[in-house]
Chains A and B, each alone.
Chain A
Amino acid sequence: MLQILRSDKTIRWTLVGFFVLAIAGNFMPAWVQNNLMFGLARGLAVLGLMVLWRTGLISFGHALYFGIGAYAVALVDKHLGVSDIFLRLAFAMGAAAMVGFALGFILRKYRSIFFAMLSLAFSMVLYGILVKVEALGSTDGFSVSATSILGWTPESKYTLFCAIIVACAAAACMVQYYLKTGLGALTTAIRDNELRVEYLGYSVSKAIHFKYIISAGLAGASGAMMAMALGQVDPDSMVNWTVSGELVFITVMAGPGSVIAPFIGGVVFEFLRTYAFELAPHAWQLIVGGTLLAIIFFLPMGLWSLLERIWVRKGSSS
């Protein structure tokens, strides 16, 4: 494993990139830090969606796990007073992965639009419960108290910022490692020809199930980080179908090219939305929707492919 870590260029650059970002974060104004936190946290869920997308599956219901992660943090905070970041993350990821494991038995048999629709149905079931049950906060949701680390409650948000960066870096490296080895490498192969993969002696449904659990866990972590960074959870901005739509949007915008792409996509989306909202409070959806269409038409492989192109041109010219 160390061998791979040392030899893999992506992992090396990911670690360097996140390290630089963590240092730079200290000098950034609070709002940039905030938007970076939101963007990176969302990037975790997008990373999971990308793993699925590489096998040709797009889930229109990952707000389910995003929401479970976020609400897990809010509920353990409210009822058990848990404020520790590790415990909160553990609850969130555990809950999301467990639900993902259970639903995975059903979903692994589905492909394309049916997979998307069934995911959507599951996420809307959760939404339907949350908005109507008063004990779960109905449409208001809950506030989340400040996050502590091993008994220490930091003064500034910078600590949480670093924690999110560490989580993102770890997730990116682990996913990269996973995609390079064993079952993880069976992504594009499954998308291109399932039958052939089966003939090679691998179980496609098991591979998909495993990827689904990974993506569920990542989305849970993402929701948890979001809840901690924002200090608030609610069904309309965390579980409704538009949230799933946004996550898929970022996935497509980022492109499947690299494990770093989801984080770049998440951050770009966050800034796009912030500025669109500030410049045109009446037409920010128009700007976001227009961007989405433009990406689908002109950059089908996402922002990452744009970066790659620039990279390659630079490399050849110098």
Chain B
Amino acid sequence: MQLLITILLDGLTYASYLFIVSVGLTIVFGVLKILNVAHGAFYAWGAYAAAYAITYAADMEYSDWIGFVCIFLAAALVGLVLGMIIERVILRHMYAQDEVLIALATFGIFLILEDVILLVFGVNPYFAYQPMALLGRVPMGGISRDVYSFTLMALACVVAFSCWWGLTKTKWGKLISVVIYDREISQAMGINVSMVYLIVFVIGAGLGALGGAYVAPTLSVAPGFGIDVIVLSFAVVVIGGMGSIPGALIGALMVGILRAVAVHKMPELELFVVFAVMATVLIIRPEGLFAPAKARTI
């Protein structure tokens, strides 16, 4: 029982983290049809920006609560600046290209952004533990757990809800669905598709950055931060169905809990299970568990 609770909570913590990181990826794929490898770089930039701001605030001896403000500001800033630059300067000229070729271009962007991090922030790691330390711990299932990971779960719920609400209940969300369904017709109807693309990409980038910014306090923020995240979030997105938000949620839960089971019961399989699930789902349901309805183009 103790073990069960622990596995469940470990799994949920990891799943929340995976969901926040991958939801931006799936939104961008759903709308722009871009498999964005540079998403890992947004994650890393978010983490660096947040860690930098938090350590700065700590040096200035502001209250530790400022850390939470730093996290969200950093994510928004990274999303806006990097997202805008990359969409406007590079991706906008590529939409006519083959999907896989665009993915390769984002791989190039990823490599560049990785090194720019080194040039901007240096190689020394950042420790921005204040927000996590501030919240302390609670006993649960016979062991202590940090409260911070529960706020991570809450954040995942908030993000999931806002995405659902934003896409289904607002005017912008409806515009987006129209653009997903048929880009050319919506353009003909007078929708500013280019603007929709820009906004969606910025939101996607911002969510990637938020994932990084929010876990930054739990980690040593150091170079090479984004590499493993990319394939993990690919796995999550593919399992759930590329472009589907509930899919990303289910994918994150599956990967998170299976990994937790593996760590507790068979540590050698920890990485293997993630990709084995990804391959299995692709074999059984190539479009993922929650494939969004697809418009026929023929």
Q: Do chains A and B touch in the complex (CB under 8 A)?
A: yes
A174 interface contact, C-beta 8 A: no
Q: Is A18 an interface residue (CB 8 A)?
A: no
Interchain CA distance A129-B274 in the complex, whole Å: 11
Binds B, one of A3-11, A85-93, A241-249: A241-249
**In the complex the two chains form, is B282's CB within 8 Å of A121's CB?**
yes
Residues of chain B at interface, number, CB under 8 A: 47
B282 touches A117 (CB 8 A): yes
Given A127-B271, A132-B268, 19 further pairs, Cβ under 8 A: A116-B103, A117-B242, A117-B282, A118-B282, A120-B231, A121-B275, A121-B279, A125-B272, A132-B267, A132-B272, A241-B230, A284-B115, A290-B108, A292-B105, A292-B107, A292-B108, A292-B111, A293-B90, A293-B112
Bound CA–CA A125/B35 (angstroms): 20
Report chain B residues within 8 Å CB of A242: 227
Cross-chain contact A122 with B115 (CB below 8 angstroms): no
List, in ascending order, chain A residues with CB within 8 A of B274's CB. 124, 128
Interface residues of A in 281-301 (CB under 8 A from B): 282-286, 288-293, 296-297
Residue of A nearest to B278 (CB): A121
Q: Is the CB of A125 within 8 A of B276?
A: yes
Q: Does B85 contact A (CB under 8 A)?
A: no
| A293 contacts B108, C-beta separation under 8 Å | yes
Evaluate contact between A289 and B111: CB separation under 8 angstroms.
yes
Judge whether A283 and B279 touch: CB under 8 Å. no
A114 on the B face (CB < 8 A)? yes
- Measured between beta carbons, the chain A residues less than 8 angstroms from B118 are 282-283
- Tell yes or no: A19 within 8 A of B by CB: no
Interface residue A167 (Cβ < 8 Å from any Cβ of B): no
**Is B235 on the interface with A (CB-CB < 8 A)?**
yes
Check if B108 sits within 8 Å of A125, measured CB to CB. no
* A contact residues, range: 35 or more
Supply 7 A–B pairs (Cβ within 8 Å), ascending by A. Answer: A116-B103, A117-B238, A117-B278, A121-B282, A124-B274, A285-B112, A289-B115
B binding-site residues for A, Cβ under 8 Å: 35, 37, 90, 93-94, 97-101, 103-105, 107-112, 114-116, 118-119, 227, 230-231, 234-235, 238, 242, 267-276, 278-279, 282-283, 286-287
Q: How far is the CA of A293 from the CA of B267 in the complex (A)?
A: 39
Decide: A114 near B119, CB < 8 A? Known: A131-B271, A289-B111, A292-B105: no
Contacts known (A125-B272, A125-B279); A110 close to B111, Cβ less than 8 A: no
**How near does chain B come to A68, taking the closest CB pair, in angstroms?**
16
> Are B99 and A283 in contact, with the CB atoms below 8 A?
no
